[in-house]
Chains A and B, each alone.
Chain A
Amino acid sequence: NAGVTQTPKFRVLKTGQSMTLLCAQDMNHEYMYWYRQDPGMGLRLIHYSVGEGTTAKGEVPDGYNVSRLKKQNFLLGLESAAPSQTSVYFCASSYDIRGQYQETQYFGPGTRLLVL
């Protein structure tokens, strides 16, 4: 299993440009998450999904949109990038067993985004 993978690994955008970050997991996990990590801070939750076709807002959702059209993929979109969105973005997933939610999250390697 590849686990959780993210593409791209690194991207530079100009202010106002749009892009989509892709997260893929091959562990058949129900739950997927997008976080951002800024220097000197822990991870902050942007959006998450508890299943295919469902999404929910996290702690810092403004300026981002997400979609979960397939169970294995969770997309994070920036419609109009701003310098404040310069960060490292991490995707994570977690599973449930017989309907029992398992809290441990497995993280991807991250995507570094620089907005000029």
Chain B
Amino acid sequence: GESVGLHLPTLSVQEGDNSIINCAYSNSASDYFIWYKQESGKGPQFIIDIRSNMDKRQGQRVTVLLNKTVKHLSLQIAATQPGDSAVYFCAEINTGRRALTFGSGTRLQVQP
């Protein structure tokens, strides 16, 4: 795969543990946030989203938390599996601009 993320922060967890990936965003005008998963050699894949009028949203095994006061976003993955190993990006958007701004990403490594 491509050499994406050679210098990314890395989170290493044991299979079955819960993972928490954090993201700080910069634009207080952003009103929509998305987490993407990117596996080696592939494009980003949508995981979960949240609007600025919410502070928590749950999906299947994933939860996103939004703290607008400190401009912080987190992704929680329950019972992490080897297939969860990837680079995770948060993205923010001001829907008036219609363009996503991506964070720099975190590499998640799941140890069997």
Residues of A at the B interface (CB closer than 8 Å) are: 4, 31, 33, 35, 37, 39-45, 48, 50, 58-59, 88, 90, 92, 101, 103-110, 112
**Is the beta-carbon distance between B44 and A103 smaller than 8 angstroms?**
no
Instruction: Report the tally of A-B residue pairs with Cβ distances under 8 A.
Output: 72
In this complex, the member of A58, A88, A90, A105 whose beta carbon has the largest number of chain B beta carbons within 10 angstroms is: A105
Choice from B3, B6, B89 contacting A42 with Cβ under 8 Å: B89
**Is the beta-carbon distance between A50 and B100 smaller than 8 angstroms?**
no
Choice from B36, B44, B99 contacting A45 with Cβ under 8 Å: B99
Tell me the count of chain B residues lying within 8 A, CB to CB, of chain A.
Answer: 29
Q: Measured between alpha carbons, how far is A110 from B102 in the docked complex, in Å?
A: 16
A selection of 27 A-B contacts at a CB cut-off of 8 Å is A35-B102, A39-B7, A40-B5, A40-B6, A40-B8, A41-B105, A42-B102, A42-B103, A42-B104, A42-B105, A43-B44, A45-B99, A45-B100, A59-B99, A88-B4, A101-B95, A103-B49, A103-B100, A104-B46, A105-B34, A105-B46, A107-B45, A109-B41, A109-B42, A109-B43, A110-B2, A110-B43
In this complex, the member of A33, A41, A50, A108 whose beta carbon has the largest number of chain B beta carbons within 10 angstroms is: A41
Chain B contact residues, majority secondary structure: loop
Q: Measured between alpha carbons, how far is A43 from B105 in the docked complex, in Å?
A: 9
Decide yes or no: A104 and B103 within 8 Å by CB, A43-B44, A88-B4, A90-B43 being known contacts: no
**Is the beta-carbon distance between A103 and B104 smaller than 8 angstroms?**
no
**Interfacial chain B residues near A40, Cβ < 8 Å:** 5-8, 104
**Is the beta-carbon distance between B34 and A39 smaller than 8 angstroms?**
no
Q: Is B98 an interface residue (CB 8 A)?
A: yes
**Is the beta-carbon distance between B44 and A90 smaller than 8 angstroms?**
yes
Choice from A88, A90, A101, A110 contacting B98 with Cβ under 8 Å: A101
Q: Measured between alpha carbons, how far is A45 from B100 in the docked complex, in Å?
A: 8
**Interfacial chain B residues near A92, Cβ < 8 Å:** 43
Choice from B42, B100, B101 contacting A105 with Cβ under 8 Å: B100
**Interfacial chain A residues near B105, Cβ < 8 Å:** 41-42
